[in-house]
Structures are given as structure tokens and as C-alpha cells.
Chain A
Amino acid sequence: MKATESSVVADTAGGQTAAERAVWRLLARVPDPEIPVLSIVDLGIVRYVRRAGDGALHVGITPTYSGCPATAAIRSATRAALDEAGFGAALLEEVLSPPWTSDWITPQGRAKLEAFGIAPPAPAAAPRDTAEPLRCPRCGSLSVARISEFGSTPCKAHYVCSACREPFDHFKCI
């Protein structure tokens, strides 16, 4: 958990050029195609934006799941956003290592998920018994039951609330 937090912070804070900051702001407006309340920055899939020694801007993005069908759409939306904003020379790179974890979803992203009706993931690295319990995103009840580990997209599981009886999606911890 500590390592992943620091790796996010290392790439987003301090010592950035104006162009790098502009690209971060730009990508913070590119929505995830399957959960459009989240941006790709909220999801933690933008790994770096940096001006390298060769003078070019390098943008690294990582897939969530190996087979996530949104990966190609995210790639082309990111490319289009860069091109339209005048960063046509920026190089878009696919980063596989370290593998994406739901821990990289930003606090802002987690709040957006819950407001949208999707229970955010517990920390993947934390032991199960110390993790914050799953609560219904509609009524806040902790009395919930899993219906299916697999849901409408690879990243979600299906739950139902025993208090308000509403079904809801849970963003899986990985």
C-alpha cells in the first residue's frame, strides 16, 4: 500500500514542467468508457507524464485487467485528447509492470464511485479482517450479501443489500 501510494505521488507531484501539468489536467477529463463518472486519472491507470531526455513527452498508461475490452477505447480516447490539445508529438506507452491494482484508484475516484452507486474496493493489500467493511452505496448498511463474484464488467462483482434490498455493483479489489 505504501509503495503504491508513493509511486502515484512520485509521478504527479513536484518538479513538473508546465506541459506535464497541462497533460495531467487534460487526462483528468478523459472518462473511463465503462464507468464514465471516473476519469482515467481517477482510476490510476495513467502511470506517468514526463519530458524525457529525448525532448519528447512520454505518457504511460496501464491496462486494468488483461482482457478489459475498454483498453483499446481508452487508448484511442487518450490519443485523441492529446492530439486535440496540441500534444500530437507526445508518445503513448503501454506499461505492464507493476500490474495495476485497485489501490491506485484515487480517494476522489473512490468517492465518485460510491456516489454513482458502486461500492469502492477495499485495499487489496490489507488483510481481510482489518479492511473497512463493504457497505451499501445507497443506504450505507453493512448488511450486504454477494450474489456473484462476476458482474457486468471484469472489474465488478454483484451484491445485494439486506437492509434496503437494492442490488449494487462492487468494484473488485485486485
Chain B
Amino acid sequence: MSTTDVPASIPAPASAATSAGTSSPWSPGPIPGTAASVRRTMPIRIEFARQISQWRVRVVLIIFALLPVVVRLAFLIGGAGGPAAGRTDLAAFAQASGTTFTAFILVITAGFLLTLVVALLFGDMIAGEASRSTLKYLLTIPVGRTRLLFVKVLVSWTVLVVGILLLTGMSLLVGTISYGGGGIQIPVGPQLGMGESLLRILAAVAIICLHLSWAAALGTMFTVLAEAPLAAAGGVVITSILSSILERIPDLGEVRHYLPTWNTDAFREFFNARIDYAPIADSVLSALIYALLSTTVAVLWFRRKDISS
């Protein structure tokens, strides 16, 4: 677009700003007193508004909302299957009840999809602003760098948690409509009560989120280090894949237990008849240690970083 479609009423400011009556040219007026209180820069709701307006974020939420429907349709196409076919994994029991369906959805998404979403959300935080050249303007407002990172992380977490809750809620809705309202059917185990099932799903979601903190913090670190959001997101995904590959090399022995993805499935304990809290606690501890390390590096680096984009 050229400027030809803008009326050549130059100097526009003079004419427009003083359209109140006087014909004197526009002036910014006297300098106001600097006593004006500056509240917290970058309020969380503003960053939330900036993020939620982006299609990237909306698409993530839409995918979360639609995934249960897609899985339901897949079951429709794939037919009954189920325990009659002699299988005893959760997939075989997914159609037992709405809550079992929800548990199944959580199990299939927790491994890769959620890591990918975390990479997308957290990898974009700073690198995305840098690639749009908006970062320098935010920093000269001035929004403190730690503050900016903090708000960004908080908003990304909000989007992520809302997304996972959306996924869970939609799964419950779709599952209950399709398969009725019973509790979780434990494979080769009892069927739980409805109240307990909901509690367990909630606990599983909480543990999934806590465990994702390692990937989220890694994304935070990469988004600060990298200039391109794709590089940051890719870094998280590749690290996750690398860790999963190393996990499968038995020669590594106990070293594997310290890999960040080792305890990814810990939340599945909530879908066993008897919950073993040991792997759950281990997964939380391991994720938090990684998260603390990555976040510390991210903050230290970002506070000192030269912004040249």
C-alpha cells in the first residue's frame, strides 16, 4: 500500500489536533508534572489480551477443545474393539464411561502433544516479540526484564492450564454423552466411583501440569537465548525427543532415571486401582529441579542480554 490513499492534508496534526477551534498549529502543550504514579508495568491482563488475540494461542485452545470429538469419531469409525478383543490397556477400556474416556484422552495427549503445545507457547514468549521487533519497545516502556519474563510465563501457564482443563472438560462432556456417566473403569480392575474418578482426573491434570514445568522452563530458557521462536520451540521438542530416545537405551542404566522425560507417565498412577505415589513425587521433584535450573539461566541471561533485534 502506498501513501497515496492518505489525504495529503499535510500538516495533518495541526489541522486535526486543533480542530476544537483555534487555528494555531498543534503543540504537545506544557510538560505535565512527573508525579503521575506509575503502577505495575505490563499488567497481566494486558499481556493476556495481547496473547489471546493471537491465532497461535486460539488454535491451541481450539485443538484442545476439538481433540476429544476427533477421538470419539475415531472410535466410531474403528468400531467397538474393547476388552472383548482381549486387550487390557486403557485404550481398550476407553469407551467404558465418560471418565474413562477422559483418562484415555489425558494418557494419549500427555506425552507428545502437550510437550509440543508447551514448546509453542513458551518458545514464542520472548523470541516471538523479538522477531516482531516489539521486544525493544516493550523494554523501553520500560517493562523490567524480569517482570516481562514473569508476566509472559504466567500468561503462558494460564493459557496452558486453561487449555488442559478445556481438553479435560470437553473429554468429560463428549465421553459422558457417548458412553454414559460412570466412574473410571480401571483396566483389569474395579470401576471407581464418580466422585473419586473426578478427583483422580483433577489430580492427574495437576501432576501433568507440574511435570510439564520442565519443558515450560526449558522453553523459557530457549526463548531468551534464541532470536527466532521456531528455534526456541524446536529446541524444546528436540530435547524432549532426545530424552525419550536416551530413555530407551537400557545400557544407560540408572542414568535414565534422571532424564526429564523419565517420569512423564507418572500421572497414570491415578488411573490404577492403587495409586503409587512414589513415581508421582519423583516426577514432580525431577520436573521442578529442571525447571528451577532452566528458569534461573533464563532470568540471569535475559537480565544481561543485549537486545539487538
Q: Do A and B make up one complex?
A: no
Interface residues of A (CB under 8 A from B): none
